[in-house]
Every structure is written in structure tokens, then in C-alpha cells.
Structure 1
Amino acid sequence: MSDLYRRHRAVIPDWIALFYEHPIELTHGEGRHVWDAEGNRYLDFFGGILTTMTAHALPEVTKAVGEQAGRLIHSSTLYLNRPMVELAERIAALSGIPDARVFFTTSGTEANDTALLLATAYRGSNQILAMRNSYHGRSFSAVSVTGNRSWSTTSLSPLQTLYVHGGVRTRGPYAQLTDDRFIEACVADLEDLLGHTRDPAALIAEPIQGVGGFTSPPDGLYAAFREVLKRHGALWISDEVQTGWGRTGDHFWGWQAHADSGPPDMLTFAKGIGNGMSVGGVVARAEIMNCLDANSISTFGGSPVTMAAGLVNLSYLLEHDLQGNARRVGGLLIERLRAIGATVPAVREVRGRGLMIGVELARPETDAPHPEAAAAVLEAAREGGLLIGKGGGHNTTILRIAPPLSLTVAEAEEGAAILEQALHEI
């Protein structure tokens, strides 16, 4: 046991998970690579849980952070904040939500917590619809709408939550249906559920479930849900903490794969926009955002330094068409991984969009979860110089792959080769 690991265990809660049998300390990064305290270099295919969106130590971002820190680090929302207003203007325009207002937080958890506060206040209801296998954060309210047992730490809740089918396409009672029939069955389930309960405040849903293992419904499901929700006056909250900013390649926001009924009433964001800085937030129609009848501020949300980072990072993303790169390089990587998976019996499915890819492992004989295999691949990939993530729920074990959106074709091939060797080792 390393000295740092021993010190970590002495002062950090036991429920803070660490990857690897021998946890590593990352000391610095550049581009798509990071180094540990022993000097080992790794190709980073997880980006601090989808957070390093453009690149490690991106010069434009580090320069903006340094310059702003040299002028003013903190002011709170009690004063006018030019970087916050400028970033809010850009996000509001990109959101697709009409007459949008933006509230900045420090994390995705806090963003979802705020969205739930707004929805329940606006609707006068504490009933929330959420998706099975979902994850929305670690706060008391976010845990209470998380449908993944591995991450739901308490059954006590300030909200009455009802869970809906549809977030997982290839498992569950509707897995064998065609996409159209799958959507019909999930809509019928939602209609039936709403017939037995009071009108809910909102449905909160990830367009692609992140912690749940990069699972998603067929395109159009949430548009069909939206039509049902409208009849009941319920809002649609799209949790874009992991799917936002072009990571899926096909769309800038995950909700756009379900756009037949227009944008959501609210969307939440975080992670990639700050490229490692603590930025999250909520975008909502003005009538929803302004419904609170009590004072509120944010001490750290929208800080000048994090807003400066977000502005430059967003500009870099758009100017270099990283969404297009995610579509092109991600498409190649998914096909390469599917070809590899076809040769490994433990690989049940390779799925995803853009640079948001899941490799689901299962026991070939029974289709049961195979957590031992996932742990072994994680270790073997690290030994080979590749960092990946892990997640899943609903009796699955999934390797999560989400590199910075500037990933090159050569780096995608390098990572695929390392992962191929790791998979064959199991």
C-alpha cells in the first residue's frame, strides 16, 4: 500500500471509490494523455468522468484561467459578472429553449437539484418521473430520482418518484420488440402509470444514461413521452450533464435525437463545459426559472474564473468542430470495437454515439453480469497504458469509453488495440 493511499484511507470516506487494485495518482496531463506519480504515461479514454472535454492542459483555457485569476477570482452573484453574462448568453442561444434563462452551479448534481426545485415549485407537486437505471447525482434530491440501485444510497426522499421503462433498449421486458413497438410499449406503460397517480411535476431523463452504462432508447422515445407529459401539464427535464456539448457527434444536445416535439422545458449541464473547472447549470424557459418566490443567490456558481474557462472552452469546441470530430473519430472507434467484440465471447454488446461508447460484458453461457471480467479488463487496460471507465446497472457490467473530443484517428486506433489485448486476456 502506498503512503498516499494509506493517508487517503485514513481521512477520506470509505464510500469514495478508487479505481484499480493499486490506485494511481495522476500528476499532469497534455492533450489526450496523462501521467502518474511514477512517470507512467496513459492514453485517457475517460477524461475525469467525461469532464476533460477538449484536451488536458488546453493552452487557451489555462491562459484564460490564469489571466482572470490575476484580476479577480471571486465576487458571488450579488454583483454584475461580465463573464457569467457572456457565457449565459451563448448557452441560452445554443440550448434551443425559447426565452431561456441560465442559472450556474458548481456541479451536475447541483444543477439537477436546482431543476427539481424549479419543477416542483412551478407545478406545485413533489411527484417526479424518472427512468429506471438512471443516475442524476449524489445530493439528497438527486439520489431520490436515481433509478440505479448501485448509486441510490437511501430510500428516504423529499420527492415521490415513479420510475418509467425505456432507458435500456436491450434488456428488460421490451428488449425483443422492434424500435417502434418498444416506443409504443414504453408510452403505454407511462400512460398506465399516470392513470394511477396524481399529476407529476416533471420527467427527468438522460438522453443517454451515463453511469448506467451508456444505454439509450430508440430515437424518438422522449418526443413520444413529451406528448403524454403535455396532456398532464408535466415538464420535461433533459439531463445533459454527460451528453451535452456535441459528445454524441450527431447532435449538440442529446435531446435533439428526440426533437419531434421541440426542446425540453429545462436542460441541465456540467462536466465538459468547464474542461475540468467546476461549472454546471440549468437552462429553463423564463416563466419556469422565475417562478421562485423567495430570494436566492449562488456563492460559487458562475465564478469569474470558471466562467472565463467555460467561455474559451466553448469557443475552442465550436471553432475546431469537435462535435464533427466526435462523429467521425467516434464512428470509426465504435466500428473497430464492434469488430473486436465479435471475437470475444464475453462482449455482449458495443453501443454508443460519437465519443460516448459502452462495451457491455456478460457471462457467455447465461448472459448474466460479469463484474469480474470488467474489473480484469480495467486493470489490463491500465497496464497497457489506457485509462477507461466502468459503470452499469440493470444486471449489466459495462466498460465506459469517453475520451476528449479532440481525439485523433491514430489515438483511437492505439486505444482500441490496447483494449483488444485487455479483452483477450480475460
Structure 2
Amino acid sequence: MGSLPNLEAPPPSSSRISTVVPATPRCEEKGEHNLNYMDLLMKLHYVRSIYFFDSEAVQGLTISDLKTPMFPLLDLYSHVAGRVRIAKSGRPFIKCNDAGVRIAESQCDKTLREWLDENEYSVDELVHDHVLGPDLAFSPLVFVKFTSFKCGGLSVGLSWAHILGDAFSAFNFITKWSHILAGQSQPKSLHIPNLVKPQFLSNFVFDNPISIKNENVVGEYWLAANDCYVPSHTFHITSSQLHHLVKTTKSITNTDTKYFEIISATIWKCIAQIRGDIGPKVVTICSKNKNTSKCAENEFPTNDILLSKIETNLRPEEYNILDLMNLIGEKKINENYALEKLVEKGDGKDDFFVYGAKLTFVDLEEADLYGVKLNGKKPIRANCDLRGVGDQGVVLVFPGPEDDDGNNGRMIKVSLPGKELDQLKYKLEREWGIQHYASLTF
């Protein structure tokens, strides 16, 4: 079963929770935010991100300073401060009622270095344990948690209901908070992207999409269930390791090749070898929609992503990284049209999950996790993950911190059943020199 909020165990550090609402009450202007088919597909998932700042970046900032920007921010993101309601038809929507987002304040009795040494890049405990339910009318869609460390450092943890928008939308939200904190002027409203309706294209599938799975056991909480324990681990690949990976796979001959494709193909091959004859011969690619007109920085949050399937008939021992890269880069079959029809057929009442329905690779290479700044300083570490991952697992690929030479490596967040994750750590270190622990010097 999926891990639900632990309501009985005491927190690891002292904590208190408050609510922040939009600076300008809507009154009679309060309305409803209708959810599109992709929002409804993602309703059992959550985006979580964490940002670690040293004492120098936090110098002079009080908890009041950190909370104050949330008020004008929610004027821009008014529906984020709303609550989910269920229409008479059974279709969910968001009531823009200014109910607010939750702010959690915690004190940790460890220094930042001690925490990182013990927990590496983990987001657990520093991001609020957030799930919609059991009473949707009182369930906040967003939690922001500020944790102060004994050394004066600070972590900022965001838990974002995926029904609001994709990971890019979540990162934009917390980045804009830091911009307001820094005194930067903000637009009066957000740009609403021109969402492109799925078209009848040659690379679309129209029936029986496999990128999602129907969830039949959703109870009081909106969270995908698991048949086994699915832990997560973060791998940091430096820029030099990336260059070695490119050289080893000879993928440098293709100048259009993305690191995402190289990394995904490498991990796909490893997991296939671990699972043997049971797969995965079919995987899902989750990527940013390149065809939509967007204004990235001031963009209204949306779930504007493409879900594609890839299939292969090869046996695991026949997997070749270059062949898998070609499948990922050139042979994706877009399932968005079929997914829209499936959701609309049930008028949004059905429950589905995406991440981990099949082994899922999520392309976040264009995400800017280091755009969040305090006192003009970037976080010394940042990470993200997804909550509500199915048993087939998920792999996130996103930029890492700058190396000593000024280049960015990649972070890989992998969620897999426990034994498979342990085997993957071993294979990546033995075969590719990618250590299963993170370098935490700073």
C-alpha cells in the first residue's frame, strides 16, 4: 500500500504550522478552476523539492521575512490557495476560496553538514508529509516547510499537489517566491499558455494507452498504492563522468543526443538485466511539451507534458545502449490523445496513476532547481522527487550543481523496489563508475 501520512509518530524536530492566504481577498470574484484531463491523470501524484542554504545565504532573514512573499505570490496563483471540490457529476475541480497554503516551521538540532552526511540528498522529513485527503475540502494543495539548522543554515521544502501542474510549474512557483523575497517586481497576472489539443499525428496512439494504470484501491487519501516498498535514491553524475559516459557509448557521433537519452538508456539496460525475462520491454517517457506556446518564467501552472511509450522485443542480454537511445530519441509513440479520450470518457471520475505504471523516465533537463536564491545566493544542494510512484519505478533526470570547473553534471533520482535499487547501485558503480553515494563537500 502507498505510504500515507504518519499522524502518530512525533516529528524529528520541533515544528509548527500556519496558513498563508492571498494578499488580496477575492470576495465575490471567487470562482472555480477547471481541471484538464492531464491534471486529473496526475491527481494521485505529488512533486517534492528541497533547497539547502548555508548560514551566509540566510543571514538577516527571519521567518516573517520568509513568509511575507507568499501573500502577494498567492495573488498570482490564486487557485493554488483553493481546495478540491467534487461536482455533482463526480468530476473534481478547484474552488478558489482563498483557503491558503500551509507553512511549516521546524528547528533541527543538527548542523547542515551533519544532516547531509547522514541523509545525503533525501527530501524526507524536510518536506512536509503531504497527501490530499481524507477531507478534500480542508486539504491544502501546497505545503512549504522551512527548517532551521543548528549552524544557521536553512532548508526550504516544497510539497506540490501534481493536480496543480507539472514539476516545471512547481519549480517556477517556489522560484518566484524567492524573486518576491528579493524585491523583484512581478507581473499583475500570469501568462496562460495556449495549450495545444492533441492532434491526429502519425506518432500518436489512439487506443489502449499503456502509460497509465487504473487505480482501484484509492480510499480516503489521494495516493497511488504499492504492492511493495519503493524507496528512492539520488545519484550525482559529474560533468566529467558524463563525458566518459558519452565516450564509452560512442554517442558523441550524434550531435543532437541529449544526456537524458544516454542516462535513461544506461539505466534501462541495467534494470532490464536485473529483472531478466520479466522486462521492462515497455517504458514510458515523460517530457516537456515543446509544441505549446509558453512564457516560462511567468507561466500559469499546468500539467503540459507529453507521455510516450517505447517498446522493444529484444531480450535483456541483447540490449545495446545506442539502440535504446535511438528508441528514446526517435521512436516514441505519443499517447496524449488516447489519454485525453480515456479521461473524458469517464468525465474525470476514474482514478489513474502514471509514474511507475510502467518503468517511467522523466526528462527534467530544462528544469532550473538552482533558480531559487536567498540573499542572491543559490542553494548549496537541491533535489526533487515524486510521491505516489508505482511498483515499476521512476527515474528523474535533472541538472546538478556546478562542478569546480563551472560545468553542470546531472542528478538522477531513482525510485525502485528495494532489492532492485540495491542491485542498480552496485551495477552503476561497477560498470560505469557512478557511486551510489553523493559527494557532499561544500
- What TM-score do the two structures reach when normalised by structure 2? 0.25
Greater fraction helix: 1
Greater strand share, 1 or 2? 2
